[in-house]
């Protein structure tokens, strides 16, 4: 052809029919199962092509999920297949050739490295979505329950809580039921509930409402546009009144520290003579990030804004810390109020940065509030990689069939640990008592025995989320799944060690170095208790148990005056940044509740060390 003249050329190609691939997916013992699968051709292209996917395959994921016996259409050719079923399983890679034929069968065997249910623990992700964020709104408004079930089962989760929220609210709320949706696997449950986000009280922090019997708030007429409170405590009380379990989502959102702004707030509040310096007298009753003399770098007996900002920036990488965060986003904003008033059950962890998540939790525990921690992903908003990136393992004992009611009750009682699935605390006891199974009561100062069993995966993604890469912003971002903090990592860390810590009232008092070899490692130590305290086990940032309370002489936990001051300051800061978002008709009861919470923290501070 004369291309210069005609500007056209015929292109001939042959389109072969795809091969109908039947997948025989089994556990190592031959039991039919579900798998996470990534197919790549020799050029590294992902199949099926992501841009052309419809549910049950999600365009924003490389992987697909299939049950035993299900089918997949692929062109004939050579592929590399990676198969797994979440972090409790090894990732297996195999080369395969798909022949030119109308059909073909592929056998896939999955291999676990850990089985938490052998120890009575059952995993769940209490915060995933079937609509909004990365999900499409056309041809359907989000995806169906069967699509979400495939994701949950394909990641080896026992429980998935699909939360209807603002986007596609009217379409998705049709899937709600007071009971989990029925499936053929007694150890995989899917329950539709609510996240108050995109409407209502969202400006005061998003809240997860689990195990609801009724999803229609009084006066809302089944809509999201009217009748919902514009602060979180009332909606949490409504959910709890029907047996629900409630807590804040993606907790660190808004708990980040801005050193310059925080320093300026202190200067504005404390600098009585307006000389832009704070004296020891001016800061006498103030909540400083560090003792005065440690902040005073130039030893001039006065603190400048620069010195304050510098110390706050350093402390932002510490856990715990006493720098007041911005309180300006959608995480655990109002938790200081709802916890003090008995309206909150848990704080979410494992999806946002770990230090601000756990810092808020630690300060509440130091005030004696029995707030539990639970694990979530907020899929596909905080992360669309996979469900179960953050998860909670609830102790139910040996059961023949999962009960969602009992699982939620265990979450509420703190009979659990949170994890990314690559780290496990399969046993943790203080004087023989596990988290959520009662308190240790002592009549005098005494030494108690600590026992634990932990395990870490022999292969772990080398990411910021797992704490195996330090982001440019520093330790304060470790654990974060929201951003990669750099190019998406593909490396896997084989073996290595993990540092396990015994935490008492927020501070590490004992450390063990444990190999990441997939084996169970038993730990024991003694702990002297001279005041009512909370005791937990952690491996930062992958793992944390809920605490065991040790009560001395019947006295409540009052271990830190500074923690009570910090909680009070977060409430004041929240009212300053977000109080105006509360509807005029709710301003009076909201202000009364905030003031009552502040009075509670003042009383706690007086009774604390």
72 vs 16 pLDDT, higher one: 72
The pLDDT of residue 598 is above 80: yes
Confidence of residue 283 (pLDDT cuts 50, 70, 90): very high
Rama region for 175: left / alpha / beta (φ>0; ψ in -120 to 50; rest): alpha
The pLDDT of residue 7 is above 80: no
CA atoms of 502 and 538, how far apart (whole Å): 7
The pLDDT of residue 200 is above 70: yes
CATH fold, domain 424-458+495-556, is: Immunoglobulin-like (2.60.40)
Q: Does domain 115-255+326-421 have CATH number 3.20.20.140?
A: yes
Confidence of residue 538 (pLDDT cuts 50, 70, 90): very high
The pLDDT of residue 1 is above 60: no
pLDDT for 483: 81
SS3 sequence, 237-286? HHHHHCCCEEEECCCCCCCCCCHHHHHHHHHHHHCCCCCCEEECCCCCCC
Q: Which residues contact 117 (CB under 8 A, 6 or more apart)?
A: 158, 187
Cα dihedral 375→379→382→386 (10° resolution): 90
488 vs 190 pLDDT, higher one: 190
The alpha carbon of 342 is separated from its chain's Cα centroid by a whole number of angstroms, namely 22
Supply the mean pLDDT for the chain.
Answer: 96
pLDDT for 419: 98
The pLDDT of residue 488 is above 80: no
pLDDT tens-digit map of 540-551 = 999 999 999 999
The pLDDT of residue 182 is above 90: no
pLDDT for 606: 97
What one-character DSSP code corresponds to residue 181? B
The pLDDT of 502-508, averaged and rounded, is 98
Homologous superfamily (CATH) of 19-112 is Carboxypeptidase-like, regulatory domain (2.60.40.1120)
The pLDDT of residue 490 is above 80: no
pLDDT for 514: 98
CA atoms of 596 and 579, how far apart (whole Å): 15
Q: Do domains 115-255+326-421 and 258-315 have the same CATH topology?
A: no
Inter-residue contact 560 to 505 (CB < 8 Å):
yes
pLDDT for 556: 98
pLDDT tens-digit map of 331-376 = 999 999 999 999 999 999 999 999 999 999 999 999 999 999 999 9
Confidence of residue 581 (pLDDT cuts 50, 70, 90): very high
pLDDT for 2: 56
Confidence of residue 484 (pLDDT cuts 50, 70, 90): confident
CA atoms of 479 and 354, how far apart (whole Å): 5
The pLDDT of 247-255, averaged and rounded, is 98
Q: Which residues contact 203 (CB under 8 A, 6 or more apart)?
A: 230, 330, 578, 581
pLDDT for 288: 97
Inter-residue contact 170 to 160 (CB < 8 Å):
no
pLDDT tens-digit map of 24-41 = 999 999 999 999 999 999
Q: Give the SS3 label for residue 599.
A: helix
The pLDDT of residue 3 is above 70: no
The pLDDT of residue 591 is above 90: yes
pLDDT for 102: 93
The pLDDT of residue 609 is above 90: no
The pLDDT of 268-292, averaged and rounded, is 96
9 vs 309 pLDDT, higher one: 309
The alpha carbon of 287 is separated from its chain's Cα centroid by a whole number of angstroms, namely 29
Confidence of residue 100 (pLDDT cuts 50, 70, 90): very high
The pLDDT of residue 497 is above 80: yes
- Report the interhelical angle of 232-241 vs 587-607 (nearest 10°): 90
pLDDT for 432: 98
Classify domain 258-315 at the CATH class level: mainly alpha
pLDDT for 4: 61
The pLDDT of residue 211 is above 70: yes
Q: Where are the domains of the chain?
A: 19-112, 115-255+326-421, 258-315, 424-458+495-556
The pLDDT of residue 80 is above 90: yes
pLDDT for 6: 64
pLDDT tens-digit map of 435-463 = 999 999 999 999 999 999 999 999 999 99
């Amino acid at each position: 052809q004369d291309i210069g003249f005609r500007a056209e050329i015929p292109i001939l190609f042959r389109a072969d029919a795809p091969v109908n691939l039947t997948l025989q997916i089994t556990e190592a013992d031959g039991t039919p199962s579900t798998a996470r699968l990534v197919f790549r051709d020799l050029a590294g292209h992902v199949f099926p092509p992501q841009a052309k996917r419809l549910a049950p395959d999600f365009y924003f994921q490389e992987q697909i999920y299939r049950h035993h016996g299900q089918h997949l259409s692929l062109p004939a050719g050579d592929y590399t297949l990676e198969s797994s079923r979440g972090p409790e399983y090894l990732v297996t890679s195999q080369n395969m050739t798909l022949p030119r034929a109308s059909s073909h069968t592929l056998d896939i065997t999955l291999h676990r490295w850990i089985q938490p249910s052998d120890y009575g623990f059952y995993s769940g992700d209490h915060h995933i979505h079937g609509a909004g964020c990365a999900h499409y709104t056309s041809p359907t408004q989000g995806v169906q329950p069967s699509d979400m079930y495939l994701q949950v089962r394909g990641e080896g989760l026992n429980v998935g809580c699909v939360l209807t929220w603002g986007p596609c609210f009217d379409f998705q709320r049709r899937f709600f039921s007071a009971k989990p949706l029925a499936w053929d696997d007694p150890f995989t449950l899917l329950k539709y509930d609510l996240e108050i986000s995109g409407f209502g009280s969202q400006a005061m922090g998003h809240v997860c409402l689990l195990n609801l019997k009724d999803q229609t708030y009084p006066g809302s007429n089944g809509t999201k546009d009217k009748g919902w409170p514009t602060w979180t405590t009332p909606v949490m009380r409504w959910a709890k009144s029907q047996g629900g379990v409630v807590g804040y989502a993606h907790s660190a959102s808004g708990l980040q520290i801005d050193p310059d702004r925080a320093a300026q707030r202190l200067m504005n509040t404390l600098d009585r003579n307006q000389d832009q310096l704070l004296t020891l007298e001016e800061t006498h009753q103030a909540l400083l990030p560090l003792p005065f003399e440690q902040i005073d770098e130039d030893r001039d007996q006065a603190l400048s804004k620069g010195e304050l900002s510098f110390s706050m920036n350093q402390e932002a990488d510490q856990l715990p810390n006493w720098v007041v965060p911005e309180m300006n986003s959608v995480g655990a904003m109002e938790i200081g109020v709802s916890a003090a008033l008995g309206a909150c059950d848990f704080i979410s962890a494992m999806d946002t940065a770990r230090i601000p998540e756990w810092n808020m939790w630690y300060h509440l525990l130091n005030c004696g509030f029995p707030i539990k921690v639970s694990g979530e992903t907020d899929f596909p908003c905080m992360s669309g990689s996979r469900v179960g990136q953050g998860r909670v393992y609830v102790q139910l004992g040996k059961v023949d069939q999962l009960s969602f009611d009992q699982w939620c009750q265990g979450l509420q009682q703190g009979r659990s640990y949170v994890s990314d699935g690559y780290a496990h605390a399969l046993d943790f006891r203080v004087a023989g008592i596990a988290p959520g199974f009662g308190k240790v009561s002592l009549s005098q100062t005494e030494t108690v025995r600590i026992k634990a069993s932990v395990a870490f995966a022999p292969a772990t993604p080398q990411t910021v989320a797992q704490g195996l890469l330090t982001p440019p912003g520093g330790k304060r971002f470790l654990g974060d799944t929201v951003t990669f903090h750099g190019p998406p990592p593909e490396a896997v860390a084989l073996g290595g060690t993990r540092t396990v810590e015994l935490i008492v009232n927020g501070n590490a008092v004992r450390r063990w170095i444990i190999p990441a070899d997939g084996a169970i490692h038993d730990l024991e130590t003694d702990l002297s208790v001279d005041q009512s305290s909370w005791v937990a086990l952690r491996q930062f940032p992958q793992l944390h148990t809920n605490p065991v309370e040790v009560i001395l002489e019947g006295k409540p936990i009052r271990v830190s005056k500074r923690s009570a001051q910090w909680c009070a300051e977060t409430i004041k800061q929240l009212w300053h940044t977000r109080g105006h978002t509360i509807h005029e008709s709710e301003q009076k009861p909201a202000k009364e509740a905030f003031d009552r919470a502040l009075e509670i923290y003042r009383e706690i501070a007086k009774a604390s060390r």
